[in-house]
Structure formats: structure tokens, C-alpha cells
Amino acid sequence: MRFASFIADGARHFGAVTDAGMIALSPQFPQWQTLRAAIADGGLPTLATAAEGASVTHTDFTYDIPLPDAPRIICVGVNFPDRNAEYRDGSAQPKYMSLFPRFASGFTGHDRPLIRPPESHTLDYEGEVAVIIGKPGRRIAPDAAYDHIAALTLCNEGTIRDWVRHAKFNVTQGKNWDRSGAMGPWIVPFTDAGQIDDAHLVTRVNGEVRQDDHLRNMMFPVREEIAYISTFMTLQPGDIIVTGTPTGAGARFDPPRYLVPGDVVEVEVPGIGILRNGVEDEA
């Protein structure tokens, strides 16, 4: 079962995704104003039951990011060994993971363009898996971490590269340009550890494979991410952890291969889906 947030006839909805179109479920559950509210109430199984055998309500719609009202989006940086080596600074695997925040305004939905701003043409791609927290917790033990995940989605953690170097101690500026990244197309309920442990992530630009790796190769696995982050903040339903991108981003080519208008980026993980976005200059 796949669930998404979408826009149709000028209104925001959430519902179930089928190959024939969208089944709007939000009208049936007015107690849940958003998909995040349903997740917080443990409502994904109820939505799945309501969608079984239901008719498609919308074939003309636009994907929104899955949780437009996500309270917090925490990203894990440089989380694959080859990515650490890409920095060519001779550093060993770090003791602690690198983290930074992103905000919902920096993302767009599936099949909508990534926006390259006029201030910089160093827009880059980063394919990643994102986990959506469904159960609150503080100081969560690694072996209990998966119990706190409600669903998975995909992320293109688009970055304006030269702006991540504007300051000494953070990358926030380069990571939060409006609609520079994407998330979606939908969420898939998390029901089995293999959905993460066996996940194979591929990022393509114009059909060319640029990133190809498995989540099991991450330096800081998802269980450790949840445990570490929940040490200093109470994770809440709807929080999103973007888990890290493999080697192969455009900045690491010589010369760099940044995104340009007309490019198409696809992030794929079997069992989750394909997140696809074009690229346009800001109007």
C-alpha cells in the first residue's frame, strides 16, 4: 500500500496511490487533517483498510511532498565510506555522525521541477532513503529503533554546493533553497526490517546511473541514527530522518556535473518506488 499527499482542484488531500490514479481518503477521515496526523494516530492500517476495493477519485492531480507539515527534517551527511573518501582529506570514519536540518519549503513533490536559483548554478542531486517516525521516543535503544518507524519514502536532497561553504560550521544555507530538493512520491508503511537492511538505492541523471549502493554499507545505520538523534531530542510522529547519500554526486566529478534545466533525476529503491524530477531555472 502506498499513501501520498496531493493537490487536486485547488485543494490538498491525502490518499492511497494506485496505478490508475489516486483514492482520496482525507474526506472520510476529517479527524486527520493531514497524512502526518494519521501517522501520529497510528492510522495507516485504517487507511489501508479504507482503500481496499475503493474506486479511484482523481486521475488529474499534482503530487505534494508526502508530509508538507513535517515538524522536523534531520539529514545525515557523509554517511557512506566512499563519500568520506570523496572529501580527500585523509580522515578516517568519524566517531559521530554529521547532522543538519532541512525544512519542508526546500522540497517539492514527485514529477515537479527542482528549481535552480539565479544566485548559483551549482544545483546538485543526492539520492537517499528517508524514514518517517511514527512513535515518539527519547534515548531510543538501537535494537528498538525500528519500532519507532511508521513509513519510508525517497528523497533527492538537492544542494546548492557553493552555498554550503559560506560559513565554517554549517551547511544549512546550501541545503534549504526553496524547491531545490524533492521527496516522495509517496510513503510505504514500514513492516519489515528488510525494507531498510536490504535496500538498494540507485540515482540516475538523464538515464545515466550516477549513484548505486546499498543501505547496509552506511557508516551509521538507521538504527544508530535514530538512537543518536533521540539522545538529544525527543523524536515525534512525522519527524523525518534523511539517512545519507552514496558516492557519485555531481560535485565530485572532475569537472563537476551540476544539474541544468532539462535534466531529469530519478531516485529508485525497489519496494519503495521511483522519485522523478526535472530541473528548471527559477522564473
For residue 170, what pLDDT is reported?
A: 81
What local confidence, expressed as pLDDT, does residue 144 receive?
A: 98
Q: What is the pLDDT of residue 85?
A: 55
Distance from C-alpha of 25 to C-alpha of 46, rounded to nearest angstrom: 10
- By percentage, how much of the chain surpasses pLDDT 70? 96
Low-confidence stretches of the chain (pLDDT < 70) are 83-92
What is the structure's pLDDT at 94? 86
Q: What is the pTM of this model?
A: 0.95
pLDDT score of 236: 98
